Amino acid sequence: MRHTEVVGLWRPTDPPPGGKTRVSRATDQGASHTSHAHKFVIKSTAMIRQSSLTRFIVNKKNNTGNGEIQWCFSQVKGTLEDDVTEADLISCVEFNHDGELLATGDKGGRVVIFQRDPMSKTCIPRRGDYTVYSTFQSHEPEFDYLKSLEIEEKINKIRWLRRKNQAHFLLSTNDKTIKLWKVSEKDKKIEGYNTKEDSGIMRDPMNITSLRVPVLKSMELMVEASPRRVFANAHTYHINSISVNSDQETYLSADDLRINLWNLEITDQSFNIVDIKPTNMEELTEVITAAEFHPLECNLFVYSSSKGTIRLCDMRSSALCDKHAKLFEEQDDPTTRSFFSEIISSISDVKISNSGRYMMSRDYMTIKVWDLHMETKPIETYPVHEYLRPKLCSLYENDCIFDKFECCWSGTDQYIMTGAYNNFFRMFDRAAKRDVTLEASKEIAKPKTVLKPRKVCIGNKRKKDEISVDCLDFNKKILHTAWHPNENIVAVAATNNLYLFQDKL
């Protein structure tokens, strides 16, 4: 595969920040057959599948007497019928920066944006209700005739830009193409054109005998979503991450072997800032699984790998960040190593805390919290579903062991959340060292229903309200979660449903 050439992604007038540059034009015509190379990457690193998810929202507030939070059902979006089409499966979920909007993407390439109901914020008791704000088709299925490769329309990631005016902007991506969307409101229309009727029919210039001044008239509110930029042809492999920089001028996109840096104003050029592709693909030992910018420092970003490592890179030291500034890695215990160790240590998601001090990584069995000042080991480790360890063999056979679970921080960084099987999702209180397992299901889809903690038993003796590990439904999984940035509201995707929960008031 010939190296891509990247040009000019800092600013059109500024030189890149030090060192030599590796520039790549956003077309990689010399690349080898994508599908074959991608299959090899996946095979070599046990990164075979990316399951799609559904979404679910939880809102948390009041505490009980012992300090634990009680959650209750608020809303559910999507049909509760068992017959669900593949295109309706939710594949990503993301709040905007003030939490007023919540966007979901699905496997059919659609983006649905929900808006916080203003009445739900002022009513007593307060509620975390959202209503549909806009729906649009973001991506369509494509076919790469040069490489004989089908490109799915599934939305892999959505990222919001900070609001600068009345309009909202967001980035959405499928496997190959990133799009910048403008979402704006329109409540006025122009009437009284000279050259056309109000119906849009053009008038005969010979019949125009007088001029009139067009006027603005009120109309029913309409929300428009229009594509403003299309960033394509820069990735040979499937895009797994996009992240907007804190400078709000640039963003990164990552695939299995490369990370590119883009300027939001330039669509045909990008800096290739990380490239881990070996000269000989047989020497490939790991792939990039996730990447994210630091929320406060525009020069820092992190990326995780299938070998369980996280690298922090500083773009001030070099324009090429193949050499990391810090390497976060926990050494394996040789006594517990097994055939599945490498697979379950692969990191599926990495998120830096809102304060910028900590970092969270999710592998198959655990969530780990790292201090960015300490590379040697995580400061906190939380088991997500340890009861599955005896079942790793069967999970390998049905490919569930390759599922990629995401994780998220609460607005205060005190709580972290991630998904599990059987539509369970886990919450961890870092301060109180408490955790809880909750379930998103049809049975609790009633207003103000309090969620009861769920417990999984391993042995034959099952207590009341416990579920046996043998009864877990591995087809029901929560892979994608999001937490409101300012309030205790979370979003969890479960197949085609988006559940909304809030704390009991």
E strands along 353-477, which residues?
358-362, 366-371, 380-383, 407-409, 415-419, 424-429, 434-439, 455-457, 466-468
Structure confidence at residue 34 (pLDDT): 40
Q: What is the pLDDT of residues 412-457, one digit of tens each?
A: 999 999 999 999 999 999 999 999 999 999 888 887 788 999 999 8
Distance CA 434, CA 416 (A): 11
Token pair of 322 as six digits = 């193949």
**% of the chain with per-residue pLDDT over 90:** 64
Q: Which of 3-12, 192-201, 238-247, 342-351 is predicted with the least confidence, judged by mean pLDDT?
A: 3-12
Q: Tell the burial category of 355 from Cβ atoms under 10 Å away from its Cβ (0-12, 13-18, 19+).
A: exposed
Token pair of 122 as six digits = 């002022």
Q: Is the peptide bond before 125 cis (omega within 30 degrees of 0)?
A: yes
Query: How distant, in Å, are the alpha carbons of 153, 264, 311, 470, 486 from that of 406?
Result: 21, 26, 18, 24, 20
**Coil, helix or strand at residue 329:** coil
Q: What is the pTM of this model?
A: 0.82
DSSP string for residues in 208-227: --S----EEEEEEEEEEEEE
Q: Tell the burial category of 220 from Cβ atoms under 10 Å away from its Cβ (0-12, 13-18, 19+).
A: exposed
Q: What is the pLDDT of residues 158-191, one digit of tens each?
A: 999 999 999 999 999 999 999 999 999 988 888 8
SS3 content of the chain, % helix, strand, coil (to 5): 10, 40, 50
Distance CA 41, CA 37 (A): 6
Query: How distant, in Å, are the alpha carbons of 105, 150, 255, 269, 279 from that of 235?
Result: 21, 15, 7, 12, 17
Structure confidence at residue 25 (pLDDT): 40
Confidence of residue 20 (pLDDT cuts 50, 70, 90): very low
Token pair of 256 as six digits = 């299995």
Token pair of 402 as six digits = 């390759």
Of the two residues 363 and 197, the one the predictor is more confident about is: 363
Is a pLDDT exceeding 80 seen at residue 24?
A: no
Structure confidence at residue 463 (pLDDT): 79
Confidence of residue 4 (pLDDT cuts 50, 70, 90): very low
DSSP 295: S
